[in-house]
Amino acid sequence: MPIGMLFGILAVMLVLSAFFSGSESALMTLSRYRLRHLANNKHAGAIKAKHILQKPDRLLGLILLGNNFVNNLAAAITTVIALKFYADDHMMVAAAIGLLTLIMLVFSEATPKTLAAAKPELLAFPAAWIYSPLLKVFYPLIWLVNGFVSLLLRLFSVNLKKNRQDFINIEEFQGILNETEQFLPARYQNMLQGILDLESATVEDIMTPRHEIIGIDLEASIEDIITDIKTSPHTQLVAYKNNIDKIVGFLHLRNVLVLLEQVHFDKHALMELISKPVYIPEHTPVYTQMLRFSNDKSRIGLVVDEYGDVQGLVTLDDLLQEIAGGLLSDDLNSIKKQSDGSLLVDANITVRELNRLTHWSLPTNGPKTLNGLIIEFMETIPKAGTSIKLHGHPLEIVKHDDNTVKLVKFLPAK
């Protein structure tokens, strides 16, 4: 065979080797979600790629067969060329093989695989059109090779079907979500995170605490009650006698405002407008309570512990805020980033919301607020100026009162 033809065949082998290496990396690094999206939009290359990737073992078998064949043939041709020039010098023949290895490493392996990692669709979709018919032509040989591979793996107790996982769990999805900061606005990240948290969140995590419940005392004078109703920032109020433990029900301001100016309006008329209270166990999942609100056509309920004592109040709006995150909640205002990189945080923020906004992992199976977490950690109420390391996060107490921490400053990580 003429020397020029041998060099021509060698060049073709190097190109084919680059094709097999690059297309393998491109097809295996394709985003399965984007591939599915493009295929649903009738992208011809994506449809082909999705089809051949349904059985990756066959595709890999074909690529490895082709790659090994062209690499071995390239080595054989290089040997023949070297013998034509240096028949009596075995060192030069070995040097030619070494030079071929270097050329293949650069031009047939590293370069195409780097390109495939950067732009997988550029190589994957055209390659899918080539591999699709080759899979049919070489199916018997591929089946035979894969059969031997499966048999060998069974000897080592490896079950491919059993160990294969085509899904991601919630923790993995949360990790993916945390890496989308540059593509997805923070408010949408918070909304998606809120949806993911529905599985573990309970009404206790998002309720308005007992001491923050705004209501009307039915034992007060009618004048004081009317004043409380007119100045209330809420559309529904808790009605109780003397203290929050003696709750009578809920009063919807829509029903009472039109009657306030009537001459005969008194406590008896007020009592007729009060609806029966709805009680919710403190460990009720958020999603379950949303369904109950929907089925019962109600929007508010009192959270009680195992002894029946009122612990807080939760509304449908609270549940919606849990899903919508920063879109409806003002928790974003509870964290203010300072010029030195530190975070000034309102200690009333819930631990779950703080984790969501900062991507931290503070424990949520204990106290529900940052204030409670700090007090539990220190086993006392710290004074302003106190510095601690809370579960790996250094902070300084900025403001406090007699029984709670009000404001803390999380120091920047060194």
| Count helices and strands in the chain by DSSP H and E runs | 19, 13
Q: Is residue 300 part of a domain?
A: yes
For residues 344 and 297, membership in a common domain is answered with no
SS3 state at 118: helix
Domain of 127 in residue numbering reads as: 3-163
Q: Is residue 25 part of a domain?
A: yes
State how many domains the chain has. Answer: 3
Q: Are 323 and 195 in contact (CB under 8 A)?
A: yes
Q: Is residue 56 part of a domain?
A: yes
Contact partners, residue 200, CB within 8 Å, separation at least 6 = 364
Q: CATH number for the domain including 365?
A: 3.30.465.10
For residues 136 and 246, membership in a common domain is answered with no
Q: Are 201 and 352 in contact (CB under 8 A)?
A: yes
For residues 150 and 211, membership in a common domain is answered with no
For residues 211 and 357, membership in a common domain is answered with no
For residues 81 and 36, membership in a common domain is answered with yes
pLDDT per residue of the chain (414 residues) written in tens, 0 to 9: 788 898 999 999 999 999 999 999 999 988 888 898 899 998 999 999 999 998 888 898 899 999 999 999 999 998 888 888 877 777 888 888 888 889 999 998 999 999 998 899 999 999 999 999 999 999 898 888 888 888 888 888 776 665 555 566 666 676 776 666 666 776 677 677 767 777 678 888 888 889 889 899 999 998 899 899 988 888 899 999 988 889 999 999 888 888 887 767 888 888 999 999 999 999 998 888 988 998 988 889 999 999 889 999 999 888 887 766 544 445 556 888 888 889 999 998 888 888 877 878 898 888 888 999 999 999 898 999 999 999 999 999 999 888 889 999 999 876
Q: Is residue 394 part of a domain?
A: yes
Give the span between the Cα atoms of 81 and 325, in whole angstroms.
69
Q: Is residue 198 part of a domain?
A: no
Number of Cβ atoms within 10 Å of the Cβ of 316: 15
For residues 269 and 351, membership in a common domain is answered with no
Q: Is residue 174 part of a domain?
A: no
Biggest alpha carbon–alpha carbon distance for the chain = 123
Rg of the chain over CA atoms, in angstroms? 35
For residues 65 and 123, membership in a common domain is answered with yes
Q: Is residue 390 part of a domain?
A: yes
For residues 352 and 272, membership in a common domain is answered with no
For residues 284 and 355, membership in a common domain is answered with no
How is residue 245 written in tokens? 């433990």
Q: Are 260 and 230 in contact (CB under 8 A)?
A: yes
For residues 159 and 207, membership in a common domain is answered with no
For residues 159 and 17, membership in a common domain is answered with yes
For residues 52 and 153, membership in a common domain is answered with yes
The torsion defined by the Cα of 10, 13, 17 and 18, in degrees rounded to 10, comes to: 70
Q: Are 127 and 119 in contact (CB under 8 A)?
A: no
